[in-house]
Amino acid sequence: MELSELPVETQLEIMLADHYRFQYLVAACRAGLFVALENEPGLSVKDVAQRLGLEEQPARILLLGCTVLGLLRKEGGSYYNTPLTKGVSGDYEGTMTSIITRESRNMYRALTWLPESVQENTNVGLQRVMAGNSDNLYERLTENAELEAEFHTMMAFHSRKFGAAIKENLDLSGYRHLLDVGGGTAANAENLADRWPHLRMTIADLPSVADKARKRVGELGLADRVDVAGIDAFSDEFPSGCDAVLFAHFLEIWSPERIQQLLAKAYRALPPGGGLFIIAPYQHDDETGPVQAAYLSAYFLAFASGEGMVYTGREFEQWLGTAGFELTSRTVLGMEEAIMLCARKPS
């Protein structure tokens, strides 16, 4: 039965209980429950308590919650992982555990300030949960090496998740040098270098991120093809010499006014015939979904920047036209998870 088919009171009760669901998941991940059961399926309550260093009563409560939520299966007195926990029972960096950790440490706390952020039109959540003077998350991360590393681990997971779709749909055969604005620690570069062996790339990101990107590029053996520029995308001009610009999961962070500034800057940096590519979370043109668009928009408002949201493809098309670009294609990726817009600077 769909949620919308339930009685209204029941729907509201489910919403009210969401914090219990998430906290059980966090507690299990933090304790190492799913990894323990992956290594030793069929543990009892007593076994779990011993393996995880817990008292038996809280171990019993944790197992009850995870069983009720479908995270575990109980047979007699033995507990087993379910398919739902496959993504959180292995290596930290290769699973959703990195995302859950970040959600619990910062985003869950920050989103409790969404009502105030809506009222004040700024990211009150960031101001309440993370120390620093900058008005956006990304610059505050540069002041905390541990949180910055955690953030880029999470982003690398997302990049791997979307990597196949991007490689399949982004046609760079006609370009020789791609500028990846906000390219992070080289996740996009890794995917695209494999797909387009002729392509040179330049990653442009904040100086502290650029240092990590250079290290990662070296580890990948791509130093002869991938350059890294430490810049502020708003105060610095883009590096020259590129004939294509990629904004992957970057523009949605910012306000419409700042997005148009970035598109104008890309237009100036490109030669006639140059390509412009946008990959961003997807929102229906009629602004009714999908649900991830609503979640991420709250994240940008209350935490990340206080000004961005998940925009519609129609809005991006309008901004591209205003900047002088000609739209060549628009593609929805995955299960309505992202949209890719391809455009060119007229010859």
Percent of the chain residues topping a pLDDT of 70: 96
The encoded tokens of residue 257 equal: 């006014």
CATH number given to 3-90: 1.10.10.10
Q: Which CATH class name applies to 107-344?
A: alpha beta
Nearest Cα to Cα of residue 67 among 106, 17, 28: 28
Record the pTM.
0.87
Task: Give residue limits of the domains in the chain.
Answer: 3-90, 107-344
Per-residue pLDDT of 91-147, as tens digits, reads 645 567 877 877 888 889 999 999 999 999 999 999 999 988 899 998 998 888 878
The encoded tokens of residue 61 equal: 């409560």
Residue range 145-155: mean pLDDT, rounded = 77
CA distance 133 to 299: 19
Q: Which residues contact 234 (CB under 8 A, 6 or more apart)?
A: 258, 261, 262
Please report which confidence band the pLDDT of residue 22 belongs to, taking 50, 70 and 90 as the band edges.
very high
Residue range 304-317: mean pLDDT, rounded = 98
Q: CA triplet 53, 23, 112: central angle to 5 degrees?
A: 140
CA distance 309 to 293: 8
* Length of the chain measured in residues: 347
